Amino acid sequence: MIIGEGPAFSSFRSGLENYNYLKLRSEYDVEFVDLNEDDYVEVEAFDSRLNPMNLRISKTVVESDYRISAALAKTHDFVIVTLAIKNMVVGSLVGGEKWRLHQGYKAMNMNIARLAKTIMPHLGVVDGYLGMEGRGPSSGDPIQSRFATASVYPVSLDAVTSKIMGFEPFDIGYLYHSNNWKVGVADLRMIDTVGRSIADVARRFRPHPRCRDMLSWR
């Protein structure tokens, strides 16, 4: 078992220490990998003019037999929401490549969907017990949302979760592209859910102030 993360701001080591992850070594066959420092492979993406460019992505993630994305339910300052797919994609980018992913609203949504084709989670889990609304993904406000979602179909998972949060799945560019490219299904009419209904657990998140601008990816 490998626990990997590529923090955008804090250090990987401090996160492991802060949340007592290191003690897992005494109980399980587990290793920790700082994805920011990992070997990498290059994957084709798009620049701000939608011309091809390459991004470096963690070799450990690409070669993993089974990828699990454990994400929080948060609003986002570029792509409206960040859930299981974006969590996997951005966390897997090596070092400063995370900032190169940000090529404007249109290209960034295409990049997330494009890279997800290479490293799509086999299982996605979204912890919405305490979410983040407003100026996410790092400067927003906590929201007591009290839900959790999981699926082996991450595109459908993120579509259902975005609806729970009060957003339309096809307003989120990377979900639209993933559905359109036949990577997964984001059309809620085609998705079956188990457990409580979307309406039962719906908790409208306050969007990022630039949410309307983000719709220009279309």
Residue-range definition of the domain harbouring residue 117: 38-217
Token digits of residue 128: 């919405």
Token digits of residue 212: 């309307």
Closest CA to 152 of 124, 113, 177: 124
Strand partners, 107: none
Is 101 inside a domain boundary? yes
CA 32 to CA 144: how far, in whole Å?
30
Least confident of 2-16, 32-46, 59-73, 74-88: 2-16
H or E stretch covering 115: helix 105-119
Q: pLDDT category, 30, cuts 50, 70, 90?
A: very high
Mean confidence (pLDDT) of the chain: 96
Is 4 inside a domain boundary? no
Is 195 inside a domain boundary? yes
Number of domains within the chain: 1
Is 85 inside a domain boundary? yes
pLDDT in tens, 60-96: 999 999 999 999 999 999 999 999 999 999 999 998 8
Q: pLDDT category, 41, cuts 50, 70, 90?
A: very high
Do residues 96 and 37 make contact, with C-beta atoms less than 8 angstroms apart?
no
Is 146 inside a domain boundary? yes
Is 49 inside a domain boundary? yes
Burial of 33 (0-12, 13-18, 19+ CB in 10 A): middle
Is 204 inside a domain boundary? yes
Please tell me the predicted confidence (pLDDT) of residue 8. 84
